[in-house]
Amino acid sequence: MNDILSTKAINALLAWYQAYKRDLPWRHTRDPYHIWLSEIMLQQTRVEAVKPYYARFLEVCPTVGALAELPEERLFKLWEGLGYYSRARNLQKAARTVMEVYDGKMPRTYEELRRLSGIGDYTAGAIASIAFGIRVPAVDGNVLRVLSRVSGSRSDIAEQSTKDAYRQALLPLIPPAAGDFNQSLIELGATVCVPNGDPKCDLCPLAAECVAARDGLTDEIPVRSAKKPRKIQPLTVLIIQDGNRTALRKRPDKGLLAGLYELPNVQGHLDEDQVLTHIRALGFEPLRIKRLDDAKHIFTHIEWQMIAYAVQITPEFDGYHGASDTLIVQNDDLHSNYAIPSAFSAYVKYL
Ligand code: ADE
């Protein structure tokens, strides 16, 4: 079988990267902790969105040790708005392993990195190559798209076997500048060989040997099997307030948005009477109720279809004696110390 990229193509790609790479904060460092953090944040998140989070995170947690010791609420507050909070939880779990097992220094092999929480094949390859110059591939969605188009392959990029095949195909071709090589493929996918619509083949260093460009197949390749349809969940969200305090609920430690604080909510779409009954069951005395706008939020596998009510309750300054997972928090304390998942962003303006 021919190599998936010729030596000439690899050299063209590296030269293109040197000339056109974006100037990104994590490209000014080889600190493995910084590279690791950037790669975790960049999963499912746009570069422009990541930049301010990356800077703020490193101010608060300049070292792996600081991350390992950060209280969970502060960790989630730093992550608020980025979504996929399990990334933050895994990051901290791995930081604790680095402290306990590796004396605070990031391990320097692909295999050891791969065993840390939240680090898969791609992320281990990215850290190993960018921070340590190890010649291993880092195949993310960008790279899968580039390689599928260059080779004209219709293998399903959602399949693990396809990812493994591209990793195997790249392995013997990786040049000494392994980090630059991997990032050049990622960068090409992110800025030139873009999904949905027209890739900028006239700007592409690989166009001369790209099968999809030659045969006009860039809108058919890559092939990705249809994902399972998302499960629709109707939800009633409650903004329960007494003056300038708002009720929050801590989610269970497992599952969607595990351990995060949220606006209290009930499965299904409740009418006003059902909401008032529910509010009393929580140990609150409702004074006024008002229907708010509907909203929806799309998670990877679930879609929330939300209706919402603002419910004013009587203040109880000796403390409420209701459900144990529900608490009532001053609004300014809420804004500075609690991370409310973006799923509720349509309702944050009422807090
Ligand atoms: N996406 C994933 N990793 C990246 C990186 N290192 N630079 C830019 N975009 C990325």
Q: pLDDT (tens digit, 0 to 9) for every residue of the chain, 351 residues total?
A: 589 999 999 999 999 999 999 999 999 999 999 999 999 999 989 999 999 999 999 999 999 999 999 999 999 999 999 988 999 999 999 999 999 999 999 999 999 999 999 999 999 999 999 999 999 999 999 999 999 999 999 999 999 999 999 999 999 999 999 999 999 999 999 999 999 878 999 999 999 999 999 999 999 999 999 888 999 999 999 999 998 899 999 999 889 999 899 999 999 999 999 999 999 999 899 999 999 999 999 998 999 999 999 999 999 877 777 777 889 999 999 999 999 999 999 999 999
Whether residue 186 has its Cβ less than 6 Å from ligand 1: yes
Whether residue 50 has its Cβ less than 6 Å from ligand 1: no
Whether residue 123 has its Cβ less than 6 Å from ligand 1: no
- CA of residue 182 to ligand 1 center, whole Å: 9
CA-based nearest residue to 72, from 90, 55, 48: 90
- CA of residue 140 to ligand 1 center, whole Å: 9
Residue located nearest, by CA, to atom 1 of ligand 1? 42
**What number does the ligand 1 atom closest to the CA of 35 have?**
6
CATH class of 231-350: alpha beta
- CA of residue 186 to ligand 1 center, whole Å: 6
CA–CA–CA angle 259, 121, 156 (5° rounding): 100
Whether residue 49 has its Cβ less than 6 Å from ligand 1: no
Whether residue 183 has its Cβ less than 6 Å from ligand 1: yes
CA distances from 259 to 7, 142, 325 (A): 49, 32, 11
HEC profile of 149-165: HHHCCCCECCCHHHHHH
- Report the pLDDT value the prediction gives residue 1, as an integer from 0 to 100: 55
| β partners of residue 288 | 312
CA–CA distance, 278 with 234 (Å, rounded to integer): 16
Residue located nearest, by CA, to atom 6 of ligand 1? 183
Q: Retrieve residue 116's tokens.
A: 């840390």
Q: Provide CB contacts within 8 A for 176, sequence distance 6+.
A: 133, 135
Q: Do domains 7-137+170-196 and 231-350 have the same CATH topology?
A: no
**What number does the ligand 1 atom closest to the CA of 39 have?**
3
- Report the pLDDT value the prediction gives residue 225, as an integer from 0 to 100: 92
- Quote the DSSP letter at residue 44: T
Whether residue 131 has its Cβ less than 6 Å from ligand 1: no
Whether residue 37 has its Cβ less than 6 Å from ligand 1: no
- Our mutation pick for probing the ligand 1 site, out of 23, 39, 127, counting the most ligand atoms within 8 A of Cβ, is 39
**What number does the ligand 1 atom closest to the CA of 43 have?**
2
CA–CA distance, 282 with 324 (Å, rounded to integer): 9
- CA of residue 17 to ligand 1 center, whole Å: 13
- Our mutation pick for probing the ligand 1 site, out of 42, 51, 54, counting the most ligand atoms within 8 A of Cβ, is 42
- Quote the DSSP letter at residue 271: -
- Our mutation pick for probing the ligand 1 site, out of 47, 53, 145, counting the most ligand atoms within 8 A of Cβ, is 47
- Our mutation pick for probing the ligand 1 site, out of 29, 144, 183, counting the most ligand atoms within 8 A of Cβ, is 183
- CA of residue 45 to ligand 1 center, whole Å: 10
CATH architecture, domain defined by 7-137+170-196: Orthogonal Bundle (1.10)
Per the listing, tokens 């998936």 go with 4
Domain boundaries defined on the chain: 7-137+170-196, 231-350
The answer to whether the CB of 211 falls within 8 A of the CB of 152 is: yes
Catalytic positions: 39
Whether residue 47 has its Cβ less than 6 Å from ligand 1: yes
What pTM, to 2 d.p., does this model score? 0.90
**The residue type at 40:** I
- CA of residue 115 to ligand 1 center, whole Å: 21
Per the listing, tokens 């929330």 go with 304
